[in-house]
Structure 1
């Protein structure tokens, strides 16, 4: 395959992206025309491929990523010094039924390809009909005061409860809350913790309480609702003389209940997959995110479910998601999702566009629109079937939009709580982060994959030198292997798994 020095993402773009470091005076051929670079263009950064007048929109992905602060010449570096955002707190949206129908037609064509041919994975079938791709013991503290007790129990279990075909290990989802919170924050904490109790990757759960917390054992038990009492147990530590001994007995009993569990063949259409990016660079929206987007298209065509969150990283690209709404009601919910999150910024007197991190900018991302248009590539061309509030569990198959921030740990926790079995996490800069579920890291560039093999599960930089269908086929094989328990994600190998809860109000 040919090796490229740059990529022009969309035919209408006014910039191209360097996929290697390009020196000043280098001559590149773009659309049959020779362009001399006026300055060094770092890997992942943009250069102008046509003259751009001051205040004119700068086009990438076929859409504006900002406007020019000054006249920009052909071959000039296009970055934070000469581009400004076009975002504001309010925007006008519209529902185009003809465009929505076109996306529906394309979705049906993809569905026809998988009719009667959905691949299978090996998973644990739950009594409620759902599946789990891991069979783990989870300890869910109702309050941060018992975190260390739970951590001691995990250490004991790692020594005394042997890994087996029916048992993939134990985790505690430690957090600092469950007390001293008020209003919406308190309810959001309780909701996320309740979601974790119900998560299908947990073959059994110990809910560990103190006893005097605001998140009272009684009220939390009521919130959790109906459970299999053989697999979900509750212990209030203030009510027993030796909480460690009592907890160890419960964990041993739960382990014995799990002994009967075995993986069986289930359709891949049962998978619920979360999509996330973090430490993005200028190639994330060109390689890794589109690869995940193609996976999303195939998964939803099979009848599976995908979840896209990071709402602030939809700002500037939201209309493209709205164009794929399943109906006008979903369109209206998407508008509300965006407007509500913008109001969250306004309430705290913060601008909506101050998002790209120093690492993003160093990697070539200039504005939030630049980041957002790359971010939403993870949703492919799939139909948006539902919009979920923070803490809400998935109900409809297809692509769901989930309310949550861009913060990596908070958003991966929200994806887990919504019911994701696995998270596909794209990155250009690299991150070791792990959620409570397998968190598959996809690098946007091959240099990162080579440098951090202990973090990265898949190299999407291959798309610059290999056929896209070959890379997608290899990626599908990896996801099937991880889902079937044949391969561990790197975060699992490293023991990296944690949660973080979204908060908006005061702590007492």
Structure 2
């Protein structure tokens, strides 16, 4: 295994692939560099001397500038560099893309749920959704009833543990309580007791729908419409109070905008028009049960890989993200695009500094102009409240080598591979064009993942260097570790270890192909991701304020 890496020949820093002690002499391009400090794995050190204000370059782009003179072998830190990034402008070049060889997947398919509108689901869920936070409690009542009655409850194993402990306590066997060890439930078929073709009922509670701006309520309705329209969803039960901003009519308009011929079953109950809460909930439970009977008649059928839509997401990123998991996922995206499929790259604050590359990859000037307009509006909004994209890196990011937003962004953008950008979507807009789509979301893991799925992603590839349990209610979230230490330490939440790229066991291309094979198996329903097994159903709508 190499001890360091130069990512791009224009870079004036090297990345440590393992801890390197102070005083170690590094030989690079005929130059001997003595390390001035111990360099922790994932961190960077200078190749050449720099003066105050000189550029720091990684991935071949500007990622910061020096705040003081430094010599070769010196570590870059938050104390000696600050964020800086290249400006961007209108499209000034065209991309000549060489698609990867996908001949071995040309005749492949996956077993999916084919919907009337041509979309294909990788799962089959029913949704129960409140239009306003006032209905969250009623949703919780329905949730308890259905999860216990149909065997979908994620708490079932923990309930059994408590019952075991209560029995031991009543018997006076305190020693047995101290020695008690629970067993992990991993057999997914234990969830399919009544309706074998339904993966579950999901409950999308939230804190919106009223009390904020009308724009927030409209955006919430548009996002919820995306979830109901989603191919992984058979239908939905909607609870409305009645007087809130997020009216049923707004949701219905949003659904018709997505598909004028929309015909999925959507059951609506408005509390202020009901004789009583009991009457409303009883009717909702009975009607939902009858709808589940119909939804259970749907079965998986062979479907082309071009019907896959993958979300490209990262969270808890580290200094290896941009050289292992992200470029591997980027290759998977390129493979899927070459097969006629779709991928979605989001988190606009984490595209800072690589905008021009993405602009030049846009297929049309109209697409690139839309990207420029959204990016500038978003950054202006952040600056207006005294923030900015430069504040995006978290303490964990910085601790593990992502010193500036531009360093983080240059690595994060690798998830988008090298293919042309076929479309740019604003928040809650739904994918309609195959190929790589750019979707405006914040960098917040859950807000962004929620948005990608709301825009049509039927599987999400989520890279992490520090570890995060993030999942989604209706789409499988595949968690990819950037390093083997993380994959070993948090194996209960990690699905794929891409740290073998760092150790030299696999190339980026080999790992990208392995990820595609995993995606196909997950789409088939043969694999349930760790986030699914843990019922990690994260859902947070984005209020269009400043969230980085």
Q: 1:214 to 1:94 in 2, by over 3 A?
A: closer
2:92 to 80, 96, 106: 96
What is aligned with 1:255? 292
TM-score (normalizing by structure 2) = 0.86
Given the alignment of the two structures, is residue 145 of structure 1 paired with residue 127 of structure 2, yes or no? no
> 1:504, 1:327 → 2: CA distance?
27
Q: 1:229 to 1:326 in 2, by over 3 A?
A: closer
Q: Secondary structure at the match of 1:12?
A: coil
Q: 1:352 to 1:229 in 2, by over 3 A?
A: closer
> Where do residues 218-233 of structure 1 align in structure 2 (5 Å cutoff)?
218-225=249-256, 231-233=265-267
Contact 1:87 1:352 in 2 (8 A): no
Q: CA deviation at 1:118?
A: 4.8
Q: CA deviation at 1:237?
A: 2.9
Given the alignment of the two structures, is residue 133 of structure 1 paired with residue 144 of structure 2, yes or no? no
Q: 1:339 to 1:230 in 2, by over 3 A?
A: closer
- Note the alpha carbon deviations across 1:107-160, whole angstroms, 9 max, x for none: 4xx3x7449815211110001111110001111211111112212212222232
Q: 1:118 to 1:354 in 2, by over 3 A?
A: farther
Contact 2:65 2:82 in 1 (8 A): yes
Q: Secondary structure at the match of 2:79?
A: coil
Contact 1:273 1:421 in 2 (8 A): yes
> Where do residues 175-324 of structure 1 align in structure 2 (5 Å cutoff)?
175-225=206-256, 231-238=265-272, 239-241=274-276, 242-324=279-361
> 2:425, 2:196 → 1: CA distance?
34
> 1:382, 1:466 → 2: CA distance?
26
Q: Secondary structure at the match of 2:389?
A: coil
> 2:275, 2:30 → 1: CA distance?
78
2:532 to 487, 492, 496: 492
Contact 2:333 2:416 in 1 (8 A): yes
Q: Secondary structure at the match of 1:374?
A: helix
> 1:367, 1:116 → 2: CA distance?
39
> 2:204, 2:140 → 1: CA distance?
9
Q: Secondary structure at the match of 2:312?
A: strand
Cα RMSD, aligned residues only: 2.0
What is aligned with 1:466? 505
What is aligned with 2:15? 17
Contact 2:15 2:44 in 1 (8 A): yes
- Note the alpha carbon deviations across 1:47-73, whole angstroms, 9 max, x for none: 112222332211111111111112221
Given the alignment of the two structures, is residue 424 of structure 1 paired with residue 424 of structure 2, yes or no? no
> 2:263, 2:88 → 1: CA distance?
50
Aligned residues: 495
> 1:20, 1:472 → 2: CA distance?
23
- Note the alpha carbon deviations across 1:268-319, whole angstroms, 9 max, x for none: 1111111111111111011111011101111111111111111111111111
TM-score (normalizing by structure 1) = 0.93
What is aligned with 2:3? 5
What is aligned with 2:54? 56
> 2:104, 2:526 → 1: CA distance?
26
Q: CA deviation at 1:355?
A: 1.4
Q: Secondary structure at the match of 1:171?
A: strand
Contact 1:126 1:132 in 2 (8 A): yes
> 2:498, 2:304 → 1: CA distance?
26
> 2:500, 2:439 → 1: CA distance?
30
Q: Secondary structure at the match of 2:390?
A: coil
Which residues of structure 2 form unaligned runs of 5+?
A: 152-191
Q: CA deviation at 1:13?
A: 1.3
Q: Secondary structure at the match of 2:48?
A: coil
What is aligned with 1:438? 476
Q: CA deviation at 1:240?
A: 4.2
Contact 1:87 1:353 in 2 (8 A): no
- Note the alpha carbon deviations across 1:316-346, whole angstroms, 9 max, x for none: 1111111211122212112112111112113
- Note the alpha carbon deviations across 1:231-282, whole angstroms, 9 max, x for none: 3221223314322211210221111011211111111111111111111111
Which residues of structure 1 form unaligned runs of 5+?
A: none
2:487 to 449, 461, 465: 449
> 2:497, 2:196 → 1: CA distance?
29
> 1:334, 1:470 → 2: CA distance?
32
